[in-house]
């Protein structure tokens, strides 16, 4: 097969904040631009690994998404980000958790994969590794976009006033992720996030956890998750979906349907996934009202949806 596939997501949730048509267009434009960048890489014979790293890096640079410069704030009003990348050809992976001041956590995850003997580095250790390798370092202000400060203040206020009325589905989970299959038939996946608004300091979600928020294996599929991370960690959802394909030989569509059913049945989980199987089939599913996502299936047209 001489074709390629690419899928990206920009988070799942109720997205009730996207009633304004202009905002909706802004999100979809962001997704479309990144897909076209990815198309350039993959159509020229670039690797799936490069395509997912570049795609997620671009989403991290777009402040409307909850990753990189647009990351949500934790309970102390600071940014702590998680990211991971995985190569389906040899199961190599790199991940970072609870890092601050790193402009592109996905690039740091790739660096860890390439230059260290480890899969995951966290906090200060990860940031020290980044400095040693000359990674760009940004001051706090770079991450403090006005919308995130307002959102954080609303979350703090809501929690004080209405703990018992907490309705997590009204929150947007805006993690970003990408999965790809290149012309050589190799798969890769990457996920990056600022986590959940007003989260506990030091809280790590599913995004950097191999098998929960990200997974890629050439024999089955590539998966990136978004949603309430604890649900995806407890169900090891990305690996559950990959195992389903490996053991049943079903396609991405069936695997996503199985995965969503499993997520609900086991933990009543909230969120969604994007999946590309080893044949280049693209599939997505979510248990929230919406998920921002887009795809190019087997070198075809570009599609973007909520
Ligand atoms: N899964 C992410 C986390 O729990 C949040 C998200 O997808 O928006 O950190």
Ligand 1 contact via 193 beta carbon (within 6 Å): yes
CATH (domain of 127): 3.60.20.30
Residues 10, 234, 270, 238, CA torsion sign: positive
**Substitution site in 176, 207, 214 for ligand 1 pocket (most atoms within 8 Å of beta carbon):** 207
Q: What is the pLDDT of residues 293-306, one digit of tens each?
A: 999 999 999 999 98
Least confident window among 132-146, 186-200, 252-266, 269-283: 132-146
- Whether 241 has a pLDDT exceeding 90, the answer reads yes
Ligand 1 contact via 206 beta carbon (within 6 Å): yes
Which ligand 1 atom is nearest residue 271's CA? 7
Residues in CB range of 254: below 8 A, 6 or more apart? 244, 248
**Substitution site in 9, 72, 79, 205 for ligand 1 pocket (most atoms within 8 Å of beta carbon):** 205
- Whether 164 has a pLDDT exceeding 90, the answer reads no
- Whether 17 has a pLDDT exceeding 80, the answer reads no
Range of 18-27, 30-39, 151-160 with top mean pLDDT: 30-39
Q: What is the pLDDT of residues 202-213, one digit of tens each?
A: 999 999 999 999
Read off the pLDDT band of 144 (50, 70, 90): confident
152 or 128: whose pLDDT is higher?
Answer: 128
- The mean pLDDT of 81-91, rounded to a whole number, is 98
- Whether 72 has a pLDDT exceeding 70, the answer reads yes
pLDDT at 167: 44
Which ligand 1 atom is nearest residue 13's CA? 8
Read off the pLDDT band of 146 (50, 70, 90): confident
Give the up-direction half-sphere exposure of residue 259: CA atoms within 13 A in the CB hemisphere.
Answer: 37
Q: What is the pLDDT of residues 41-50, one digit of tens each?
A: 999 999 999 9
Which ligand 1 atom is nearest residue 227's CA? 7
How many domains, the chain? 1
202 or 164: whose pLDDT is higher?
Answer: 202
240 or 2: whose pLDDT is higher?
Answer: 240
Domain that holds residue 164: 5-305
Residue owning the nearest CA to atom 4 of ligand 1? 229
- Whether 12 has a pLDDT exceeding 50, the answer reads yes
Please say if 226 is a catalytic residue.
no
| Closest-CA residue to 218 (of 268, 276, 289) | 276
Q: Could you identify the residue written with the tokens 């703090």?
A: 156
Residues in CB range of 188: below 8 A, 6 or more apart? 47, 48, 49, 51, 52, 85, 86, 87, 88, 179, 180, 182, 216, 222
Read off the pLDDT band of 36 (50, 70, 90): very high
Ligand 1 contact via 171 beta carbon (within 6 Å): no
Residues 67, 176, 188, 93, CA torsion sign: positive
Q: Provide the token pair at 118.
A: 């480890």
Ligand 1 contact via 269 beta carbon (within 6 Å): no
Ligand 1 contact via 208 beta carbon (within 6 Å): no
Select which of 40, 103, 175, 287 is catalytic.
175
Residue owning the nearest CA to atom 8 of ligand 1? 173
* pTM (whole model) above 0.75: yes
């Amino acid at each position: 097969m001489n074709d390629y596939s690419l899928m990206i997501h920009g988070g799942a949730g109720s997205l009730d904040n996207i009633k304004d048509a202009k905002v909706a267009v802004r999100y979809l434009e962001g997704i479309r631009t990144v897909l076209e960048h990815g198309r350039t890489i993959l159509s020229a014979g670039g690797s799936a690994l490069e395509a997912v790293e570049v795609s997620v890096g671009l989403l991290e640079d777009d402040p409307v998404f909850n990753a990189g410069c647009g990351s949500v704030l934790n309970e102390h009003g600071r940014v702590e980000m998680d990211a991971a990348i995985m190569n389906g050809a040899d199961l190599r992976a790199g991940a970072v958790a609870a890092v601050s001041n790193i402009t592109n956590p996905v690039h740091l995850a790739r660096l860890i994969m390439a230059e260290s003997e480890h899969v995951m580095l966290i906090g200060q250790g990860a940031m020290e590794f980044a400095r040693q390798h000359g990674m760009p370092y940004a001051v706090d202000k770079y991450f403090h976009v006005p919308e995130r400060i307002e959102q954080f203040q609303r979350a703090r206020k809501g929690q004080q006033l209405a703990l018992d009325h907490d309705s997590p589905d009204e929150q947007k989970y805006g993690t970003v992720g990408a999965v790809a299959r290149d012309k050589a038939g190799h798969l890769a996946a990457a996920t990056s996030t600022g986590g959940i608004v007003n989260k506990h300091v030091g809280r790590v979600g599913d995004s950097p956890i191999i098998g929960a928020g990200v997974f890629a294996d050439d024999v089955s599929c590539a998966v990136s998750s978004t949603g309430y991370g604890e649900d995806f960690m407890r169900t090891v959802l990305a690996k559950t979906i990959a195992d389903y394909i490996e053991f049943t030989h079903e396609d991405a569509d069936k695997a996503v349907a199985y995965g969503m059913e499993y997520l609900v049945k086991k933990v009543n989980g909230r969120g969604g996934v994007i999946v590309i199987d080893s044949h280049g089939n693209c599939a997505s599913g979510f248990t929230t009202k919406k998920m921002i996502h887009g795809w190019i299936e087997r070198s075809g047209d570009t599609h973007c949806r909520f």
